[in-house]
Structure 1
Amino acid sequence: MRSSVGVTGIAVLLLAGGAVGCGAKDGAAKSPEMEPAAAVAEAAKNADDITSFRYRLTGSVPGEGKIDGEAAMSVKPLAMSMKMSVQDKTTDGQVEIRLIDKAMYLGGNAEMTKEMDGKSWIKFDMSALGEDSGLSMDQLGAGEAGKNPAADSTFLTGSKDVKKVGTETVDGVETTHYKGTVSLDDLRTTLKDNNLKDKNKESREQREKSIEQYEKMGLDSMTMDMWIDGEHHTKQFRMRGDAQKGPLDMTITFLDYNKPVKVTAPPAKDTADLAEMMKGAEQG
């Protein structure tokens, strides 16, 4: 079960990356061209208004391995569904994660099914587990699940060397590619923005959590790329850096946003409840 929880942490970690956007598939950007810093700032501003999205992710996470998957998330109300493959020295297979009604479900892994007497899902209900369980949302990898991934896109606004790379087509969408480097000190500086403090306390808290996450990974700085469409939304986002356990290289391509996201809990007969398992162990 510990290995399954580890995979959960990998998957939810991936929620912390990139702005969200899609855009029209026909033609180039219709709005006047902006300076790189202004274009990045505008995309970051628009990201705060996104409440749901679907995206595709590929890359590698330090100490965990290569990942490939697709996810959908609703920010309000919070709900998430992710299917992904993780390949490293100890894990090679697909896993699915669902987050709904303050409970997280992990399933889709044949090895885990064998360990749970045929049950194909395990449920982490934090309200039922309670503080005495010794488990927290962060420890189970769900601490980042409630974040709007657009939070990380705003970090490129703190770059001192952001520049335009050129125009590129991503999934049929005409975009402008921007690139810059940003240190953790630069990220902390963005939190001092008075407009951010006054406008959206939730966004600030999300960005603080991301910075803490990167600190734990041992990152000092990152290279960030953003592909922004003609509607000033980020179509694709990439972040790279050298962490203590290896390189981080994650690319997130957004498929749509602000469309309904429906997530349902797995059937109870196929689910093993961790809270009940722990109570049974205590009674035994």
Structure 2
Amino acid sequence: MAEAAARAEGVESVRYRVAGELPETGRVEADAVMRSEPAAVSMKVSTGGKGAVPVRFVDDVMYVGKAADGKKWLRADAGVWGGLTVDNNSYGALPRQLESSPLVQSTLLTGAKDVREVGSETVDGTRTTHYRGTVTFDGLRAAGKAAQGEAARERLTASLDQFMGLRVSDTLTMDLWIDGDDHAKRFRWQAQSDGGPLDLTITFLDIDRPVTIEAPPADAQEELGS
């Protein structure tokens, strides 16, 4: 898992799928593509059983489609996605749990002390090894202090921030599927919160394929609140 976490740092782009239940939101589904530098994402997200809405973050500006066809967009800046929890801002367009990069979120299990191997499983046609463990705020904080090397400490600090951003109870159960190239292929969180259960699965479909994420045409934009 440490190798998978280290490899996540070098990923430049990824296409992924999200499905599950979120506290206070209910059912959520999303298809997304993202790049790491500079951080940008394009996704279609459906929450609470509603129709899918296109959302983009490009150059620290958020764009939300007024309809599924993406012909008209609301613009809000500064909209920030993919950084640490305190930096993100989707103006409520995305659930908090989707505001951060899944590459960072997939490293949370490196702070667990009870990780065990569940077995070999096929995920989206890829053979993987399935791991499971529980993560706590205190465990992540202790792991960060004990980590050897600046990169490991920074990774665990980011994971701690993402844990806080989930807004769940102290214990998070996490499943992680790692492929033969030591890349995270899928992860699943399960936890409880005051707003209800969290049960979210993110599956990585393509890694480091060429992606293009652009702002909508200027004549299709209007300012949020205008």
TM-score band by shorter chain is 0.7 to 0.9
TM-superposed CA distance for 1:208, in Å, is 3.9
Q: CA contact under 8 A between 1:175 and 1:235: conserved in structure 2?
A: yes
Q: Aligned partners of 1:139 and 1:80: how far apart in 2? A: 12
Q: Deviations over 1:186-218 (max 9, x none)?
A: 12223224435x22776455324313213xx24
- In structure 2, what is the equivalent of residue 5 of structure 1? none
Offset at 1:179? 0.7
TM-score by length of 1: 0.68
1:164 alignment partner in structure 2: 117
Q: Which has the higher strand share?
A: 2
Q: Which residue does the alignment assign to 1:58?
A: 19
- One-letter amino acid of the counterpart of residue 248, structure 1: L
1:103 aligns with 2:56: no
Q: 1:206 to 1:51 in 2, by over 3 A?
A: farther
Deviation string 1:140-182 (CA, Å, 9 cap, x unpaired) is 2589888542222222122221111111111110111111111
Q: In 1, are the aligned partners of 2:105 and 2:159 still within 8 Å (CA)?
A: yes
Runs of 4+ in 1 over 6 A off after TM superposition: 142-146
Per-residue CA distance 1:95-122 (angstroms, 9 max, x = gap): 1111112211011537xx9xxxxx8311
Cα deviation, 1:28-75, whole Å, max 9, x if unaligned, reads xxxxxxxxxxxx222112212112111011001100110112101111
Q: Quote the Cα distance in structure 1 between the aligned partners of 2:13 and 2:102.
A: 10
Q: Give 1:78's aligned amino acid.
A: A
> Across the two proteins, how many residue pairs are aligned to each other?
216
CA contact (8 A) 2:97 2:165 kept: no
Aligned to 1:69: 30
TM-score (norm 2): 0.84
**Equivalent pairs: percent with the same residue?**
41
State the distance in 2 between where 1:249 and 1:56 align. Answer: 14
CA distance, structure 1, for counterparts of residue 4 and residue 123 of structure 2: 16
Q: SS of the residue aligned with 2:24?
A: coil
Q: Is the 8 A contact 1:75 1:147 kept in 2?
A: no
Alignment of 1:75-94 (within 5 A): 75-88=36-49, 92-94=50-52
With over 3 angstroms needed to count, the CA separation of the structure-2 counterparts of 1:109 and 1:188, relative to structure 1, is farther
Structure 2 distance, partners of 1:170, 1:186, is 29
1:202 and 1:183 map into 2 onto residues whose CA distance is 17
SS of 1:93's equivalent in the other structure is coil
Q: Which of 156, 165, 168 pairs up with 1:213?
A: 165
| Greater percentage in helix | 1
**Maintained 8 Å contact 1:156/1:181:** yes
Larger CA deviation: 225-234 vs 150-159: 150-159
Alpha-carbon separation, structure 1, partners of 2:25 and 2:187: 21
Q: Which has the higher contact order (CA 8 A, sep 6+)?
A: 1
**d(CA) in 2 for partners of 1:68, 1:258:** 23
Residue 107 of structure 2 corresponds to 154
Measure, in 1, the Cα distance between the counterparts of 2:175 and 2:20: 14
Question: Which moves more between the two structures, 256-265 or 60-69?
Answer: 256-265
Q: Which runs of 5+ in 1 are unaligned?
A: 1-39, 114-118, 128-135, 278-284
Residue in structure 2 matched with residue 189 of structure 1 by the alignment? 142
